[in-house]
Amino acid sequence: MADDAGNCMLIEDNMTDMYNDIKSKLPKILCLHGYRQNGDVFKHKLGALRKALKKHAKLFFVTAPNKLPSAEDSSLCSEDVQKSAFGTDMMFDSKKQSDVCLGFENSLALIEETFEKQGPFDGLLGFSQGAAFVGILCGMQETNWLKYEFNFAIMVAGFKSLCHPHLNYYFKQSSVPSLHVYGTNDKVISREMSELLMEHFVHTEIIEHPGGHFVPASGPQRQGYISFLEERKCEVESEEKRKRLTVKAEPWPDLWGLESESGKALGTAMAPPLLLLVPRPLPDSDSIPHWSGQGSALAVKSPVTQTISIHAAYSSPR
């Protein structure tokens, strides 16, 4: 019996470890840069935000696959590393309608590959054109057009794409929880443009800042990011607990000789009993017959009497 009790303690310890892992797990966020940036430049620009979120999320950066020609007025990065999330059109303008989206399929393929090799990712974060791209991905997920899934989206200086081929991705509102960040003095992407994108989401939260076209990370905005991420983390943990509280039945032939409290055999060689593992945190006492709700235990269902018995430890077959 001592060995059996030890087995129960091992099960209890393993369950405790699993819950500690869930508690300590940080959400993984894939970050998409803006027009004429790349992953490294965006990572550098998000230094303050990365520092603020280091205890709340892990940020990963990717560089769009479409190289742009040099621009005389571009001071963001060198010609060799200038990129675009949507296409190779040097004259891209977020405020103008277009029938062209060259390179869009390349960008979709890159994100899919990144999810396969470095994912899964819990959420997406995009800035400017990257945020518009995130909005499109949310619409694609809503219509089951993606091979991967994510649980939330953060869009900074986001906007609705005016490219005609992209309109199909906005027909249905996205149920992905979303955080929309915009500056009241942004001269590149106006507040109204970001609000137009917000209309295509069911669950939205807003961070408004008095600045321009950048990713804010000061005190008030920092807390907004953290609150949003903590809400998403709680949702994930609740779902994980719900799954673990679902009692699972598995054949356990070693319990053939176990007897119920009345002394009757719980099973036979032709109809062995089922072992029901009761995880932690334990369910309410009303959820399982004869369960006091104290400590950890094994529940055994008899195929003969169709009743459930609770045992602190199970015995070896006789």
CATH number for the domain that contains residue 99: 3.40.50.1820
| Predicted confidence (pLDDT) at residue 298 exceeds the cutoff of 70 | no
> Among 151-160, 219-228, 255-264, 287-296, whose mean pLDDT is lowest?
287-296
Same domain, yes or no: 162 and 306? no
Q: Judging by beta carbons within 10 Å of its beta carbon (0-12, 13-18, 19+), is residue 173 exposed, middle or buried?
A: middle
High-pLDDT (> 90) share of the chain, %: 48
CA distance 159 to 213: 12
Q: Catalytic annotation on 227? A: no
Strand-pair category, 204-209 with 248-251: unpaired
203 annotated active-site: no
Look at residue 280 and tell me whether its pLDDT is greater than 70: no
Supply the pLDDT for residue 248.
47
Q: Lowest mean pLDDT: which of 125-129, 137-141, 175-179, 268-272? A: 268-272
Same domain, 151 and 184: yes
On whether the CB atoms of residues 184 and 118 are closer than 8 A, the answer is: no
**Does residue 56 lie in a domain region?**
yes
What pLDDT does residue 36 have? 87
Q: In the predicted model, is pLDDT for residue 243 greater than 90?
A: no
> What mean pLDDT is predicted for residues 205-225?
95
User: Is residue 264's pLDDT more than 70?
Assistant: no
Structural domain for 301, as ranges: 247-311
- In this structure, the answer to whether residues 116 and 206 fall within a common structural domain is yes
Instruction: Give me the pLDDT at residue 164, please.
Output: 84
Residue predicted with more confidence, 159 or 85: 159
H helices of the chain, in order, are 2-24, 39-45, 47-52, 104-118, 129-142, 191-198, 219-244
Domain assignment present for residue 41? The answer is: yes
Spatial CB neighbours of 83, under 8 Å, sequence gap ≥ 6 = 33, 36, 37, 38, 63, 64, 65, 66, 67, 68
Catalytic residue among 56, 74, 89, 213: 213
* Average pLDDT of the chain, as a whole number: 76
C-beta neighbour count of 88 within 10 angstroms? 17
Residue 213 a catalytic site member: yes
pLDDT reported for residue 216? 96
Among 214, 242, 270, give the residue marking a domain's end.
242
Q: Which of 204, 225, 242 is the last residue of a domain?
A: 242
- Both tokens assigned to 182: 């915009």
Looking at residue 113, what is its pLDDT?
97
Segment 284-293 mean pLDDT: 43
Catalytic residue among 128, 161, 174, 302: 128
Q: State the Cα–Cα distance between residues 138 and 170, nearest whole angstrom.
A: 9
- Contacts for 226-235: CB closer than 8 Å, 24+ residues apart: 226/52, 226/53, 226/56, 228/152, 228/154, 228/177, 228/179, 229/27, 229/53, 229/56, 229/57, 230/56, 231/177, 232/27, 232/122, 232/123, 232/151, 232/152, 232/177, 233/27, 233/56, 235/151, 235/177
pTM of the model: 0.68
User: What would the mean pLDDT of 254-268 be, rounded to a whole number?
Assistant: 48
Token couple for 20: 């500690």
Structure tokens at 232: 């998403």
| More confidently predicted of 210 and 301 | 210
pLDDT in tens, 75-114: 444 444 556 655 555 556 677 777 777 788 999 999 999 9
Return the higher-pLDDT residue of 68 and 278.
Answer: 68
| Residues 125-135, mean pLDDT to the nearest whole number | 96
Whether the predicted pLDDT of 260 surpasses 60: no
Residue 111 included in any domain: yes
66-70, 106-110, 292-296, 306-310: the lowest-pLDDT one: 292-296
Task: Please enumerate in sequence order all residues whose Cβ is within 8 A of that of 51, keeping only pairs 6 or more positions apart, or say none.
Answer: none
**Whether residues 200 and 273 fall in one domain:** no
For residue 213, pLDDT beyond 70: yes
Where b means 16+ CB within 10 Å and e means fewer, 132-167 reads: bbbbbbbbebbeeebeeebbbbbbbbbbbbbbeebe
